[in-house]
Amino acid sequence: MSQVATVESAAIQEVQAASSSAELRAIEIKYLGKSGELTTLLRLIGTLPNEEKPKFGQQINEAKARVTALIEERDAALKGGEMLAQFEREKIDITLPGRPWRIGREHVLQLTANKIRRVLGGLGFRYIETPELEHVNYNFAALNYPPDHPAMDDQDTFYIDDDTVLRTQCTAMQGRIFEKVKPPLRYFTVGRTFRNEAVDRTHGHTFHQVDAVMIDEGISMADLKGVLELFAREMFGENAQVRFRPDFFPFVEPGVDYAISSPKFAGGRWLELGGAGLVHPNILRAYGIDEEKYSGFAFGLGVERIPMLAHGVDDLRHFLENDLRFLDQFTSEI
């Protein structure tokens, strides 16, 4: 047998015995690669007499073609089998029930804010947002706090620098509104507020407030009382009542704090919600609002208080801890 035939038959045997496409690839390189056994036989051509050279070359080429064809055939068969095995390994049971998507929902404080926006919007108040990082002037001086007045100590403040604070109260919106809008006006905001307070069940360093202000002709405490009573009924039910007690805030005169009572909560126990009063004359004057013609009221309240009492939540820290076991309990407006 010629040398070419010997190498070819060895190649054919190996190709037939190959048990994987990777093994086949190695055999292909061994015989047909650049330094493969069949390829390198060509070098012998130089040792042959001239008349035998073409024949020898042809023999090699034919042998290579046969081996190549056989490799291709074997490769297709092996790959087919390997693919089936892979499908088998990766098979999934499409009859298994799917995993349900976890759909997010609004946070209980957001649900509460939505309702507040609906109710105050319905009373003709326009919603506005003002910065959480606030100029110290809007947070205090514009609200009639004298410099270094002890009232500022009530609201332990996070100063960012001498001019900038994390707002301690949403009432800080007032100066921004009065600078731009002339009365009659009715605005409210719902937003985040910050105080450097010792955190406990009812006090956070970060909490939320609603603030509202209305200025028009002939506004009195009776209007304030009417609006807060309506607000309380919408938020807490038909039988909710509002109680006012005198209190001091530099930006109102007279000032009150107010509490809510509703049969829904603790059998009608009073719940303190926020502060309110008539806009202080100093503020009206500072913004050029004609005191003879206009007067106004303002109120502010803690948002967390509402779901706390509506749902009997005993610690406001739960609201911001992101424990889904807690949050998942609240699916609709309060």
The contact set with ligand FA5 (CB under 6 A) reads: 169, 171, 195, 197, 203-204, 207, 209, 211, 249, 252, 272-277, 298-302, 304-305, 316
Min separation Cβ 238 and ligand FA5, Å: 23
Min separation Cβ 180 and ligand FA5, Å: 19
Enumerate the β-bridge partners of residue 278.
Answer: 297
Q: Which is nearer to ligand FA5, 7 or 171 (CB)?
A: 171
User: What is the DSSP secondary-structure string of 131-168?
Assistant: -SEEEHHHHTGGGTPPTT-GGGGGS---EEETTEEE-S
Min separation Cβ 193 and ligand FA5, Å: 7
Q: Which is nearer to ligand FA5, 108 or 252 (CB)?
A: 252
What would you report as the CA-atom Rg of the chain, rounded to the nearest whole angstrom? 42
Strands (E), the chain: 126-127, 133-135, 159-161, 164-166, 185-194, 206-217, 241-246, 252-261, 271-279, 294-302
Residue nearest to ligand FA5 (CB): 302
Give me the phi and psi of 187, to 5 degrees please: -135, 155
Min separation Cβ 101 and ligand FA5, Å: 34
What spatial distance separates the first Cα and last Cα of the chain, rounded to whole Å?
96
Min separation Cβ 275 and ligand FA5, Å: 3
Q: Which is nearer to ligand FA5, 36 or 275 (CB)?
A: 275
Q: Which is nearer to ligand FA5, 11 or 142 (CB)?
A: 142
Min separation Cβ 159 and ligand FA5, Å: 17
Q: Which is nearer to ligand FA5, 234 or 272 (CB)?
A: 272
Tokens 């820290």 belong to residue: 317
Min separation Cβ 121 and ligand FA5, Å: 19
Q: Which is nearer to ligand FA5, 33 or 226 (CB)?
A: 226
Q: Which is nearer to ligand FA5, 31 or 188 (CB)?
A: 188
Give every CB contact of residue 315 below 8 A, 6+ residues apart in sequence. 201
The answer to whether 66 and 8 have CB atoms below 8 angstroms apart is: yes
Q: Which is nearer to ligand FA5, 56 or 145 (CB)?
A: 145
User: What is the DSSP secondary-structure string of 266-318?
Assistant: GGG--EEEEEEEEEPHHHHHHTT--TTTEEEEEEEEETTHHHHHHHT---GGG
Min separation Cβ 259 and ligand FA5, Å: 9
CA angle 203, 204, 209 (to 5 degrees): 90
